[in-house]
């Protein structure tokens, strides 16, 4: 390096100046090819990155379209399930309530007939008594003319009329009492009829509510089938909500499974051995984990048999008898495993008690043994608690299939949205890098010119002088051309004026001759 530096002169500064002049000269003569290389490379890289950005944008559109189709398909399936469930409920309502409508109709008809008969009987009453008062007054005003026989006859007639009036009044009162009794007997029939009509009204109201729910489900299904943007946005937000809620529930279930694992891990070491390992993991831990996973699987099969979840379509497509058998088998296995876990939890408490007693016996501390003896009588409380937890936790873990199904179905939508967002960011970054590559190439050309600014300044100075000389020559030639253009015009004008004067002279001569 020092030899190259002192190649041209013993003075390193002079030699460096010569090297700098040579480098600037070489860079100056290679300026145009270097500019073309830099610009071509920058433009090529820019076009390549822009093409990659267009490809990513097209992939983003295709993926967004695919996510939309998947979301609408899942929404259609869910809407069909809801509509099917509403039809099943309506069928159950009709079979349960409206199937007894003939008997209800007979009861209502019987009640109406009884009411009509009672009303008819109440209407058939004895005639009202005649106007006995007028008859008695008429007889009393008849003149007796002082004849005692006539007076006696009239008195007898009056007494007979009074007696008849009393008997008729008693008969009419008895008939009125009978009608009142018949009308009172109609009251239970009216109440029965009112109750039956209320029952019919409640049934019709329930059916009307179900039909309104079915109309809403059908409207939602039509919106999903049409693929409206509002429906897609609603489904997307619903999927995100289900994803986070199901994730939270699965996290809680995972913590419950961890507690269940801690309950049965230590007693399992007594059953399968605590010194054996499988791949660096204790066999007892693997056995406890397998039991928990089997419980989750049995719970999943149980809910699939009940058609609460639809993770395995083959189970839902079984006939009712086979599903019932599978449900009984899954529930039986789950109960057996829950009993095993309860016994293991109790065994864990016994092992902990034995371990504590062993530590106390080894410590040989009298006061510690006294404390243990005083607390031993309450050891059954945590034992019962552990047994109850060991029996309940398997059934709690069995219901993990419900949030798991929601999590799996919503995970597709969330992953699709995340992938679309990531591809969009990559496309934007690629486009920005392409623009940066083109601008960087231009910047490098300016930096290249900055390195050779001295020869470029000299070239620019000579170019300006040459342009000035060329401009002067151009101005002289332009002036000469203008004069050459003007001289023919003047000659032509002079020629035209001469012709005009000759014509005028000839006209004057002709006038003179005339």
Residue 116 and residue 31 share a domain: no
Residue 102 and residue 64 share a domain: no
DSSP for 229-292, please give it: HHHHHHHHHHHHHHHHHHHHHHHHHHHHHHHHHHHHHHHHHHHH-SS-EETTEEHHHHHHHHHH
Residue 217 and residue 168 share a domain: yes
Using CA atoms, how far apart are residues 351 and 357, in angstroms rounded to an integer? 10
CA dihedral over 114, 120, 126, 130, signed as positive or negative: positive
Residue 312 and residue 276 share a domain: yes
Asked whether residue 482 is domain-assigned, the answer is: no
First-to-last C-alpha distance (Å) of the chain: 115
Residue 346 and residue 292 share a domain: yes
Asked whether residue 134 is domain-assigned, the answer is: yes
Tokens of 212: 């309104």
Range of the domain at 453: 2-68+437-457
Task: Measure CA 123 to chain center.
Answer: 68
Beta-bridge partners for 277: 282
Give the closest residue to 118 by CA, choosing from 188, 183, 180, 175. Answer: 183
Q: Let me know: does 441 contact 49? Beta carbons within 8 Å.
A: no
Domain count within the chain: 3
Asked whether residue 91 is domain-assigned, the answer is: no
Asked whether residue 29 is domain-assigned, the answer is: yes
Q: What is the pairing mode between strands 277-278 and 281-282?
A: antiparallel
**Helices then strands (H, E): number in the chain?**
14, 2
Residue 280 and residue 354 share a domain: yes
Residue 258 and residue 216 share a domain: no
Tokens of 498: 């001469």
Give the closest residue to 370 by CA, choosing from 383, 360, 379, 378. Answer: 360
Give the closest residue to 391 by CA, choosing from 301, 286, 287, 264. Answer: 264
Using CA atoms, how far apart are residues 202 and 211, in angstroms rounded to an integer? 14
Residue 452's SS3 state is coil
Using CA atoms, how far apart are residues 31 and 345, in angstroms rounded to an integer? 85
Write out the H or E segment, with its range, that includes residue 347: helix 320-363
Residue 165 and residue 33 share a domain: no
Residue 383 and residue 257 share a domain: yes
Instruction: Give 136-144's long-range contacts (Cβ < 8 A, gap of 24+).
Output: 136/161, 136/162, 136/165
How far from 187 is each of 76, 116, 360, CA to CA, in Å?
55, 12, 84
pTM, two decimals, is: 0.59
Asked whether residue 417 is domain-assigned, the answer is: no
Residue 292 and residue 373 share a domain: yes
pLDDT at residue 499, as a whole number: 56
pLDDT at residue 366, as a whole number: 43
pLDDT at residue 213, as a whole number: 78
Residue 158 and residue 56 share a domain: no
Asked whether residue 170 is domain-assigned, the answer is: yes
Residue 259 and residue 220 share a domain: no
pLDDT digit string (tens) for the chain, length 514 residues: 556 556 666 666 666 777 777 777 777 787 788 888 888 888 888 888 889 889 988 988 888 888 888 888 877 887 787 788 777 777 777 777 666 666 766 767 776 776 666 666 655 555 555 555 565 566 666 665 666 766 677 677 767 777 776 777 777 767 766 766 766 666 676 677 777 777 777 777 777 777 777 787 787 777 777 777 777 787 788 888 889 999 999 999 999 888 888 888 877 777 776 677 777 778 888 888 888 999 999 999 999 888 888 888 888 788 888 889 999 999 999 999 988 888 888 777 776 666 666 666 766 554 544 444 445 556 667 778 888 888 898 899 989 999 998 898 888 888 888 898 999 999 999 989 888 888 888 888 888 878 777 777 777 788 887 777 777 665 655 555 554 554 455 455 555 655 555 544 444 433 333 3
Beta-bridge partners for 278: 281
Q: What is the DSSP letter of 126?
A: P
Q: Let me know: does 394 contact 334? Beta carbons within 8 Å.
A: yes
Q: What is the DSSP letter of 55?
A: H
Give the closest residue to 16 by CA, choosing from 25, 6, 26. Answer: 6
CA dihedral over 163, 169, 173, 175, signed as positive or negative: positive
The domain boundary, picked from 179, 211, 226, lies at: 226
Asked whether residue 508 is domain-assigned, the answer is: no
Tokens of 239: 């999927």
Asked whether residue 316 is domain-assigned, the answer is: yes
Using CA atoms, how far apart are residues 217 and 213, in angstroms rounded to an integer? 6
Q: What is the DSSP letter of 100?
A: G
pLDDT at residue 453, as a whole number: 76
pLDDT at residue 23, as a whole number: 76
Q: What is the DSSP letter of 319?
A: -
């Amino acid at each position: 390096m020092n030899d190259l530096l002192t190649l041209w002169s013993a003075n390193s500064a002079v030699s460096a100046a010569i090297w700098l002049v040579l480098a600037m000269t070489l860079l100056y003569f290679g300026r145009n090819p270097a500019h073309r290389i830099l610009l071509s490379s920058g433009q090529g890289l820019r076009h390549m990155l822009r093409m990659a950005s267009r490809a990513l944008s097209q992939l983003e559109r295709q993926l967004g379209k695919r996510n939309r189709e998947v979301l609408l398909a899942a929404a259609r399936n869910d809407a069909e399930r809801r509509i099917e469930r509403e039809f099943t409920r309506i069928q159950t309502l009709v079979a349960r309530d409206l199937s007894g409508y003939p008997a209800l109709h007979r009861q209502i008809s019987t009640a109406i007939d009884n009411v009509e008969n009672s009303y008819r009987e109440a209407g058939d009453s004895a005639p009202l008594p005649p106007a006995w008062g007028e008859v008695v007054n008429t007889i009393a005003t008849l003149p007796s003319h002082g004849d005692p026989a006539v007076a006696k006859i009239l008195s007898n007639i009056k007494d007979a009329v009074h007696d008849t009036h009393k008997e008729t009044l008693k008969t009419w009162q008895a008939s009125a009492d009978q009608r009142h009794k018949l009308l009172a007997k109609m009251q239970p029939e009216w109440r029965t009829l009112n109750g039956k009509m209320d029952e019919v009204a409640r049934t019709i109201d329930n059916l009307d509510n179900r039909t309104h729910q079915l109309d809403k489900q059908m409207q939602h299904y039509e919106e999903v089938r049409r693929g409206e943007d509002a429906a897609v946005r609603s489904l997307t937000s619903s999927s995100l909500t289900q994803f986070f809620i199901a994730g939270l529930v699965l996290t809680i279930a995972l913590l419950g499974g961890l507690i269940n694992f801690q309950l049965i891990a230590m007693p399992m070491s007594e059953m399968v051995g605590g010194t054996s390992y499988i791949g660096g993991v204790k066999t007892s831990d693997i056995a406890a984990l397998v039991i928990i996973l089997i419980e989750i699987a049995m719970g999943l099969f149980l809910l699939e048999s009940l058609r609460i979840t639809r993770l395995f379509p083959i189970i839902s497509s079984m006939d009712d008898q086979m599903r019932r058998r599978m449900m009984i088998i899954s529930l039986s296995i789950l109960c057996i495993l829950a009993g095993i876990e309860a016994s293991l939890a109790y065994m864990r408490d016994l092992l902990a008690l034995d371990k504590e007693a062993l530590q106390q016996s080894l410590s040989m501390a009298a006061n510690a043994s006294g404390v243990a003896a005083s607390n031993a009588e309450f050891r059954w409380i945590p034992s019962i608690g552990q047994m109850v937890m060991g029996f309940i936790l398997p059934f709690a873990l069995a219901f993990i299939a419900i949030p798991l199904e929601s999590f799996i179905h919503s995970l597709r939508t969330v992953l699709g949205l995340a992938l679309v967002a990531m591809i969009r960011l990559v496309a934007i970054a690629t486009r920005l890098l392409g623009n940066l590559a083109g601008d960087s190439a231009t910047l490098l050309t300016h930096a290249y010119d900055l390195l050779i600014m001295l020869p470029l300044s000299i070239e620019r100075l000579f170019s300006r002088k040459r342009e000035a000389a060329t401009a002067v020559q151009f101005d002289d030639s332009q002036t000469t051309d203008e004069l050459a253009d003007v001289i023919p015009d003047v000659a032509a004008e002079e020629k035209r004026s001469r012709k005009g004067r000759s014509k005028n002279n000839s006209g004057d001569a002709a006038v003179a001759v005339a």
